[in-house]
Structure 1
Amino acid sequence: MIRPKQTTEITSNQVHTAFKAVLNILHKWHCTTEEMQILLGLKRSTLFKYKSMPEKASISQDLTERLSYLLNIHAALRILFSNPDSIYGWVRKPNRAPFFNGKSAMDIMLQGRVVDLWAVASRLNAERGGKS
């Protein structure tokens, strides 16, 4: 018997919960408002509106992807490190790995493109390998 391809639909409630979680992570990364805007791809007024009423946020595909990558970065860091200072501090530390070339993950992510978030998440996922 051929089964239909299953798709995973993300509910609006799940995305709003993810948005709140990412705001908490960005706070722990000591992000400024400007950095949050860049990482989330939002205008200042939109960011403040969403922060005050996350359940009313209009979540675009772009923002959904950004939230996903930021959550994946955080999850990988929690697997790689047990110390909260390392979990939340790693993104700002200069990194000598070839991809980073002395820059921090935050430096890379603040270039503002979704692909930059993907690149950092991919490097961390490769680093963690089979750890879970």
Structure 2
Amino acid sequence: MSTGLTSALHILAQWQCTPNQALAILKLDPDLPFPEVLSDEQCERVTFVLNIHSDLDTIFDDPDDIYGYMARPHDDPYYNGRSPLELISSGDLTVFGRICWHIDAMRVN
């Protein structure tokens, strides 16, 4: 298993992600959740998780905010009362990319 996948799974667990959510978020096969080689899309998803974590670590000082942000529902119109974790758990790569972009934009504001 790649170091990036291991790190992403660890981060997802800290985000209070269920195993089924992790499979959907990273597009992992339930019958082979730890592939020897990741597809390009799986690599992109791992990168999104790592980048989001890095951005949250830059934005927030409190570990509860760093790890809790993704699981908390937000009133921000971008999330419309849902949590970022709920949105990326849909498995839609476009939504995942938009969440990553939105959080990255919070970092520079």
Give me the TM-score of the superposition, normalised by structure 1. Answer: 0.77
Q: Does 1:91 align with 2:75?
A: no
- 2:55 counterpart letter in structure 1: A
Unmatched runs of 5 consecutive residues or more in structure 1: 1-14, 51-55
Unmatched runs of 5 consecutive residues or more in structure 2: none
Match of 1:53 in 2: none
- 1:101 counterpart letter in structure 2: N
Give me the TM-score of the superposition, normalised by structure 2. Answer: 0.93
Structure 1 or 2, whichever has the larger Rg, is: 1
Deviation for aligned residue 1:33: 1.2
Q: Distance in 1 between matches of 2:45 and 2:11?
A: 13
Q: Distance in 2 between matches of 1:21 and 1:109?
A: 18
Q: Which of 67, 80, 87 matches 1:108?
A: 87
Is the Cα–Cα contact under 8 Å of residues 39 and 110 in structure 1 kept in the other structure? yes
Cα root mean square deviation, aligned: 1.5
Q: Distance in 2 between matches of 1:63 and 1:76?
A: 20
Q: Which of 59, 65, 78 matches 1:80?
A: 59
What does residue range 1-132 of structure 1 map to in structure 2 within 5 Å? 16-47=2-33, 50=34, 57-129=36-108
